[in-house]
């Protein structure tokens, strides 16, 4: 590790301990040349999730956007906000556990529909009508029949 005071590359670790949050390690280091001490943090590199949209463009995975969409689908329903947060967290965890850092908006929509189908059928239909872009009442009715 390069000393921030003199630029020397020869340093030694004096003390190591986990941070309070447990997601990184705090290290106290000492420069072997100027004897100055400094602190570094070591943490796991987080690879961001990316959504590939219908037109092929890529956008960062946005929890807020998903929760807002779920909020519109569950408006005036007896669905607590904590349950919407859990859906988004479960999807994020599933993608990271599968080492899947890019996902198409189509796949993401299907994952959301799977969760909504078990949770609230009205919210499922609301979300599906926007996500699947129903063109007419026949497509809407076909989705309702599949749901039954």
Inform me whether the pLDDT recorded for 140 exceeds 80.
no
CA distance 62 to 121: 24
Q: Which pLDDT does position 10 carry in this prediction? A: 96
Q: Which pLDDT does position 128 carry in this prediction? A: 82
Inform me whether the pLDDT recorded for 40 exceeds 90.
yes
The first and second tokens of residue 79, run together, are 């669905």
| DSSP code string of 35-90 | --EEEEEEEPPPPPPEEE-TTS-EEE--HHHHHHHHHHHTTTSS--HHHHHHHHHH
Contact between 31 and 40 (Cβ < 8 Å): no
- Average model confidence (pLDDT) for the chain? 89
Inform me whether the pLDDT recorded for 108 exceeds 80.
yes
Phi and psi torsions of 139, nearest 5°: -65, -40
> In the chain, what percentage of residues exceed pLDDT 70?
99
As a whole number, mean pLDDT of residues 122-128 equals 85
DSSP bridge partners of 103? 51
Instruction: Give just the sign of the alpha carbon dihedral 113, 117, 118, 119.
Output: positive
More confident residue, 96 or 3: 3
**Tens-place pLDDT, residues 53-99:** 999 999 999 999 999 999 999 999 988 988 999 999 899 889 988 88
Q: Which pLDDT does position 107 carry in this prediction? A: 94
Q: Which pLDDT does position 55 carry in this prediction? A: 94
CA distance 71 to 75: 6
Q: Which pLDDT does position 3 carry in this prediction? A: 94
As a whole number, mean pLDDT of residues 96-106 equals 90
Instruction: Give just the sign of the alpha carbon dihedral 62, 64, 80, 127.
Output: negative
């Amino acid at each position: 590790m390069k000393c921030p005071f003199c630029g020397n590359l020869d340093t030694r670790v004096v003390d190591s301990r986990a941070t309070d949050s447990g997601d990184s390690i705090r290290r106290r280091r000492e420069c072997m040349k100027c004897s100055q001490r400094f602190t570094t943090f070591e943490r796991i590199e987080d690879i961001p999730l990316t959504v590939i949209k219908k037109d092929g463009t890529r956008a960062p995975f946005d929890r807020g956007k998903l929760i807002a969409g779920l909020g519109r689908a569950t408006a005036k329903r007896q669905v607590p906000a904590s349950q919407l947060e859990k859906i988004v967290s479960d999807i994020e965890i599933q993608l990271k556990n599968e080492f899947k850092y890019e996902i198409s908006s189509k796949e993401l929509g299907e994952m959301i529909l799977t969760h909504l189908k078990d949770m609230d059928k009205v919210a499922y239909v609301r979300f599906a009508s926007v996500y699947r872009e129903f063109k007419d009442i026949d497509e809407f009715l076909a989705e309702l029949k599949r749901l039954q």
